Structure 1
Amino acid sequence: MNSRGNVNGEHNSHPNPNHRPYPTPPHHHHPSYHPRPSSSASFRGCCCCLFLLLTFLALLLVAVVLVVVLAIKPKKPQFDLQQVNVQYIIVAPSAAATAAYLSLNLTMIFTAVNPNKVGIKYSPSAFYIMYKGVPLGLATVPGFYQPAHSRRTVETRASVDRVNVLQQDALELVRDATLNDRVELRVTGDVGAKIRIMEITSPRVKVAVDCAIVISPRKQSLTYKQCGVDGLSV
């Protein structure tokens, strides 16, 4: 390699004509990598949002119902046996005096009183006719809706056809019917009711009804009736 000085005293070097510069490697442009969210993670996020929304709506609904309930102060309904009409009652002792056959037909009128500011929905109910703790027959009351601050009468019928009363109970039944002119029965059952507030029904409550009735076989009529409500239970 020869070097020469220029006017300014600088030296220029001349490269070797046989020398070739190394080629510059091409630059490869790599696309940037953006990871995509998985479908399972997106689904879990949607489910979580939906669950939170439903929870919020449920809490809001409960809060509204509680405010309304506290505002109206619901009271328990009254359901009572108002009247008993006796079509017939027959007590027939068996030949061996070890049993007795009881037949009767009753029409019972119940009175439902709603003292609340909202309506009450009653479910179908059943009442048992019992003698000495033994069920003799069944009377049913269909379900119905009762408006606020109202009174309503519901009629049902109980029919018993030659029920066999055995042994000691049969002897007492025959003695009471023939000598004392009285047959004491019980009418017992539960009445289910729900309070309706803004098209929303409350949980079902039960009003237990227990009535004692005494019927005269000679007069074929009711001589005594006393009812009591055991109380309100969920």
Structure 2
Amino acid sequence: MAGTATAAAATAAVMTSRANQANGDHHHRRPYPPPGSRPHYLGPSSSYSSSSSSAASLKGCCCCLFLLLTFLTLLAVAVVLVIVLVVKPKKPQFDLQQVGVQYLLVAPSVATGTTASPAAAYLSLNITLLFTAQNPNKVGIRYGKTQFVVMYRGVPLGVATVPGFEQPAHSTRLLQTRVSVSRFNVLQADALDLIRDALVNDRVELRITGDVGAKIRFLGFTSPRVQVSVDCAIVISPRKQSLTYKQCGVDGLNV
């Protein structure tokens, strides 16, 4: 009987130990997610996949932008080639046709002191410039605003402005502008030359320069800007208040 009681006690102890272990495992085990639900854990492989997708999307956008710019560049080149081959544009002609002298006066200014040499000379003038614009092309030309500088021995005296305009094909247009200078101070470096030219030689040589910008219009398209440099030399007689010499030329054609 004693052995039977001992065996029963041992069996009960083993069962109690297993029950306690089962209860401990139940408390420490993570609960299972309910059926049909998805885990929210994103591992390293998921982050790498998202980064790769963003990089591929950015690369695709860059490729599309590059292809678009290439297409627009090729289209612009094609339009220019069509204009050159079909229209065969010619250089526009811009010339100084007439110069009207209303007033030109040179007044020496003698320095007070021991010398009688002029320290400066004052130049006043009022002249009208008449330009001729010729369009020898089959299409119209659009001219931009142009400024012509009037100079004496490289010294700027004034500016003559010609506003922008459009000129039809095979046409000629006259453009008039005026330059007015009131007592421009020519310093001693050029004062002697100016007084000698005006009072002794009766010829004051002026230079008129400017860049004329034009664009050819064809079927709604506008060509790149074509620039023509105009350079004119004129000689004015102060005594006669008239123009005695004029020579103009085109320095070159720049695109």
Q: Give the TM-score category using the shorter length.
A: 0.7 to 0.9
Q: Secondary structure at the match of 2:110?
A: coil
Structure 1 stretch 97-106 or stretch 165-174: which is displaced more?
165-174
- TM-superposed deviation, 1:45: 4.8
Alignment partners' CA distance in 1, 2:107 and 2:157: 15
- 1:109 maps onto 2:124 in alignment: no
TM-aligned CA distance change 1:187 to 1:64, over 3 Å: closer
SS of corresponding position for 1:98: strand
Structure 1 residues 145-192: Cα deviation after superposition (integer angstroms, max 9, x where no partner): 111111111111101110111114111111111111111110111111
Q: 1:116-127 maps to which residues of 2 (within 5 A)?
A: 116-127=137-148
**Count of residues paired in the alignment:** 202
Counterparts of 2:208 and 2:75, CA distance in 1: 43
* TM-align CA RMSD: 2.5
Q: How does 1:150-229 map to 2 (within 5 A)?
A: 150-229=171-250
1:37-186 to 2 correspondence within 5 Å?
A: 45=60, 48=63, 52=67, 55-56=70-71, 58-96=73-111, 97-186=118-207
Measure how far apart 1:43 and its partner are.
7.3
Do the aligned residues in 1 keep the contact of 2:133 with 2:174 (CA within 8 Å)?
A: yes
Q: 1:49 to 1:94 in 2, by over 3 A?
A: closer
CA deviation digits over 1:98-135, x for unaligned, max 9? Answer: 21100000110100111111111111111111001110
Matched residue SS, 1:175: helix
TM-score normalised over the length of structure 1:
0.77
Deviations 1:8-53 (A, max 9, x none): xxxxxxxxxxxxxxxxxxxxxxxxxxx9xx6875676577457546
AA partner of residue 214 (structure 1) = V
Q: Secondary structure at the match of 1:178?
A: helix
Residue 196 of structure 1: how far off its partner (Å): 1.4
The verdict on how the C-alpha distance between 1:90 and 1:64 changes in structure 2, with shifts beyond 3 A counting, is closer
Distance 1:194 1:79, change over 3 A: same
Query: With structure 2 as the length reference, what TM-score do the two structures score?
Result: 0.71
Counterpart Cα distance in 2 of 1:53 and 1:190: 35
Which residue identity lines up with residue 184 of structure 1 in the other structure?
E
Alpha-carbon deviation of 1:65? 3.6
In the alignment, the residues of structure 1 paired with residue 200 and residue 58 of structure 2 have an alpha-carbon distance, to the nearest angstrom, of 82
Structure 2 unmatched runs, 5+: 1-48, 112-117
C-alpha distance in structure 2 between counterparts of 1:82 and 1:158, whole Å: 15
Cα distance in 1 for residues equivalent to 2:72 and 2:109: 68
Deviations 1:39-74 (A, max 9, x none): 875676577457546644653453244123212111
Choose between structure 1 and 2: higher strand proportion: 1
Q: Deviations over 1:169-221 (max 9, x none)?
A: 11111111111111111011111111112222112121111111011111111
Structure ranking higher in helix proportion: 2
What is the rounded CA distance, in whole Å, between the counterparts of 2:119 and 2:184 in structure 1? Answer: 14
Residue 162 to residue 200, structure 1, CA distance change in 2 (3 Å): same
Percent sequence identity is 75
